Amino acid sequence: MNGDPSATEILAAIAGWLDAQAKQMAGRDAYFARVAVNALGIVGRELAMPTDGSANANAALCAALRDGTIDENTHGLFNDLTAMARHQIAIDQPYYRSPALLNLETDSSHGRRSGSRDRGES
């Protein structure tokens, strides 16, 4: 490393050390060490995500849903909620690859998913 390590590098180093220690532990201690390693990974991924103001946009979207300013018929809502879910899953579960979430098709005229399942058909 050149210069001071970044926060993500420090987290990765601590997580690597703790992971090595966890492999030598048993039972409850090993479990909690793995939980801590996973938590450090979540924090590291969150720090590594670009800060594009999406947190403020997400908070505003949630507030508008709560107060009734927008509802399920609002154009583009499904796409916005899908983007929020994808972003959070990338942080929390980076190895999760659900075809249902990754390959959603949208109806561009309403910003909602297309297909028979949205209309309650089987």
21 and 61 within one domain = no
| The pLDDT of residue 119 | 38
**70: in domain:** yes
108 and 63 within one domain = yes
80 and 33 within one domain = no
| The pLDDT of residue 80 | 86
111 and 56 within one domain = yes
d(CA 90, CA 87): 5
Q: Would you tell me the crossing angle of helices 27-48 and 77-92 to the nearest 10 degrees?
A: 130
- Per residue of the chain (122 residues), give pLDDT as tens: 468 888 889 999 999 999 999 999 999 999 999 999 999 998 988 888 777 666 777 888 889 999 999 888 888 888 888 888 888 888 888 777 766 655 654 444 444 444 434 434 43
Find the domain containing 17 and state its range: 1-48
34 and 57 within one domain = no
Q: Of how many residues is the chain composed?
A: 122
**122: in domain:** no
56 and 30 within one domain = no
| The pLDDT of residue 15 | 94
Specify burial of residue 89 (Cβ count, 10 A radius: 0-12, 13-18, 19+).
Answer: middle
| The pLDDT of residue 114 | 43
**98: in domain:** yes
Taking the whole predicted model, whether its pTM rises above 0.75 is answered as no
**87: in domain:** yes
Q: For the residues of 13-81, what is the DSSP string, one character each?
A: HHHHHHHHHHTT--HHHHHHHHHHHHHHHHHHHHHHS--SSHHHHHHHHHHHHHHTSS-TTSTTHHHHH
Q: Residue type for 119, please?
A: R
Please state the domain count of the chain.
Answer: 2
Cβ proximity of 8 and 48 under 8 Å: yes
Cβ proximity of 43 and 24 under 8 Å: no
| The pLDDT of residue 30 | 94
For residue 107, the surrounding DSSP H or E stretch is strand 106-107
| The pLDDT of residue 118 | 42
**23: in domain:** yes
